[in-house]
């Protein structure tokens, strides 16, 4: 465990072992995100006897409550000063909180009330925020250069895919062993609890932490409000909301759609979803490669366009034909993985610009912002889709038979929603440009108060509309 301040010499490139070790904390995160969006809402509705509208409302309310918690947590992270590091301590605390919340959901009795469900979902998501926010903000500081961030965030996304793969294989294996769908979901939860304990401990103990020193300047509420009024920050947050809402909408309806409309059983539907998730191994590095060949925002626009084209094809494939669906699910999944890589990398670039401009650390707050928009999107996806299904007369309880009209409403909702959202995100990022004529330059090391020449303020960023040959990479179209 090491904590490093700013050094005069440039930071050495991170070794592959360091990157993989650090990125391992994304395994439980990836497993949790998939389980919480695809399996848990359906589990509470179909197996525990709760209505679709109630489940959607509880999930939405919990995520809405959790959003200001993320913002406060991000502010606290950026102001944290301990001898163990700035972000390390937050991961160490977040893991056991997440584990407790998940355990209490695991032992939920049939017919559990909304208050019980909401309270322990909130505990689980607070722990998730502690892990997720600290991991992303820590990654932004650990990867010190423009290009290395694509590499680190690509590894984080790739290992998150491993977590999602595991959480999909568990119910398939449980079904083959004769277990019920409910028992498969409970096994997923145990996997998330165990992997959170192991990987977070590994990251906390083995990963270095680089801390950029702050200057003495104090910032008030108006400064933070000004942050979220900056054009590039607003575009990033809006784009993140939309690219999360699209796949989140698709995930909330996935099992309903593939079982009742496309004619697959639970095991086959999970295997197709596995292909979608495994495609992230190709999609994450592809997005990083595209970003270095084009720019981050253009790479994201390519991903949103191809993702939408893939979804357009899905309704025209022969029902129940696994071989026909598999390649399309792979393409769509690869593109969706690129959303996450590019949004996270662009966020780190913007936070770096803010630090250069102000001399203040903004990384934790920036990642709190995109975590908040992701949670808002996930909450909106579950709330909107479950209420849409209820409005068209779709019944989720196990063993129910739905009318053709209800199935048709399900089909329209599954396809139209994700396409509209991700294409809107691509349109937003059309105005976010990246100048790749020179690599990002790290700021000069700050002088402390004990330096013979006194403390030195980091330079302000030049006018972004007239970039010089050595300016940072991210600019905004005039």
Give the sign of the dihedral formed by CA 31, CA 36, CA 41, CA 43: positive
The verdict on pTM exceeding 0.75 is no
- Specify the pLDDT at position 65: 82
- Specify the pLDDT at position 350: 80
Q: What is the pLDDT along the chain (478 residues), one digit of tens a residue?
A: 655 554 444 457 778 888 899 999 999 998 998 888 888 888 887 777 777 888 888 888 887 887 788 778 877 887 777 777 788 889 999 999 999 999 998 888 777 788 888 899 999 989 998 998 888 888 877 876 767 777 787 788 788 888 888 888 888 888 888 887 788 888 999 999 999 999 999 999 988 876 655 554 455 567 667 777 777 788 888 888 898 888 888 888 898 899 889 989 888 898 898 899 888 778 878 887 887 787 777 788 888 899 999 999 999 999 999 999 999 999 999 998 888 778 877 887 788 777 777 666 677 677 777 777 877 887 788 888 888 888 888 877 666 778 888 899 999 999 988 999 988 888 887 665 533 333 344 444 444 444 444 444 443 434 433 333 333 332 222 2
Contact of 98 with 124, CB cutoff 8 Å: yes
The domains found in the chain, sorted by start residue, are 15-210+222-445+459-476 (1.20.1250.20)
- Specify the pLDDT at position 92: 92
- Specify the pLDDT at position 221: 65
Q: What are the structure tokens assigned to 302, written together?
A: 């390519």
- Specify the pLDDT at position 399: 65
Separation of alpha carbons 460 and 103, rounded Å: 48
Residues across the chain: 478
- Specify the pLDDT at position 473: 30
- Specify the pLDDT at position 82: 78
- Specify the pLDDT at position 98: 95
- Specify the pLDDT at position 156: 87
- Specify the pLDDT at position 454: 45
Q: What are the structure tokens assigned to 255, written together?
A: 């099992």
């Amino acid at each position: 465990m090491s904590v490093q301040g700013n050094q005069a010499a440039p930071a050495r490139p991170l070794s592959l072992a360091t990157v993989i070790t650090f990125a391992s904390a994304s395994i439980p995160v990836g497993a949790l995100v998939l389980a919480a969006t695809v399996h848990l809402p359906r589990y509470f509705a179909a197996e525990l006897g709760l209505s679709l509208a109630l489940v959607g409302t509880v999930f939405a309310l919990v995520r809405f409550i959790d959003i200001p918690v993320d913002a406060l947590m991000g502010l606290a992270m950026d102001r944290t000063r301990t001898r163990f590091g700035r972000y390390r301590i937050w991961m160490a605390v977040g893991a056991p909180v997440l584990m407790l919340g998940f355990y209490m959901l695991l032992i939920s009795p049939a017919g559990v009330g909304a208050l019980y469900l909401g309270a322990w979902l909130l505990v689980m998501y607070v722990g998730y925020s502690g892990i997720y926010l600290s991991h992303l903000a820590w990654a932004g500081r650990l990867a010190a250069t423009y290009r290395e961030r694509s590499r680190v965030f690509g590894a984080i996304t790739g290992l998150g895919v491993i977590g999602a793969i595991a959480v999909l294989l568990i119910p398939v294996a449980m079904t083959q062993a004769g277990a019920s769908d409910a028992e498969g979901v409970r096994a997923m939860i145990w996997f998330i609890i165990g992997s959170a304990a192991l990987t977070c401990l590994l990251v906390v103990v083995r990963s270095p932490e680089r801390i950029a020193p702050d200057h003495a300047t104090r910032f008030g509420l108006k400064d933070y409000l000004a942050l979220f009024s900056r054009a590039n920050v607003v575009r990033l947050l809006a784009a993140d909301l939309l690219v999360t809402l699209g796949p989140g909408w698709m995930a909330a309806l996935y099992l309903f759609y593939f079982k009742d409309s496309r004619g697959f059983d639970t095991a086959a539907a999970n295997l197709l979803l596995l292909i979608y998730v495994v495609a992230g191994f190709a999609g994450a590095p592809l997005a990083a490669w595209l970003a270095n060949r084009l720019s981050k925002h253009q790479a994201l626009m390519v991903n949103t366009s191809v993702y939408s084209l893939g979804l357009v094809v899905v309704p025209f494939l022969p029902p129940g034909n696994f071989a026909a669906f598999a390649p399309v699910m792979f393409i769509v999944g690869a593109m969706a993985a690129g959303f996450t890589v590019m949004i996270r990398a662009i966020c780190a670039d913007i936070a770096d610009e803010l630090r250069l401009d102000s001399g203040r650390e903004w990384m934790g707050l920036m990642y709190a912002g995109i975590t908040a928009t992701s949670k808002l999107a996930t909450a909106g996806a579950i709330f909107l889709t479950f209420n849409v299904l209820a409005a068209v007369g779709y019944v989720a309880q196990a063993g129910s038979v739905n009318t053709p009209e209800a199935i048709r409403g399900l089909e329209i909702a599954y396809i139209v929603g994700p396409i509209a959202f991700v294409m809107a995100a691509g349109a937003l990022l059309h105005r976010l440009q990246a100048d790749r004529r020179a690599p990002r330059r790290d700021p000069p090391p700050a002088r402390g108060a004990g330096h013979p020449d006194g403390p030195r303020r980091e330079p302000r960023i030049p006018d972004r509309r007239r970039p010089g040959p050595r300016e940072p990479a991210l600019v905004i179209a005039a």
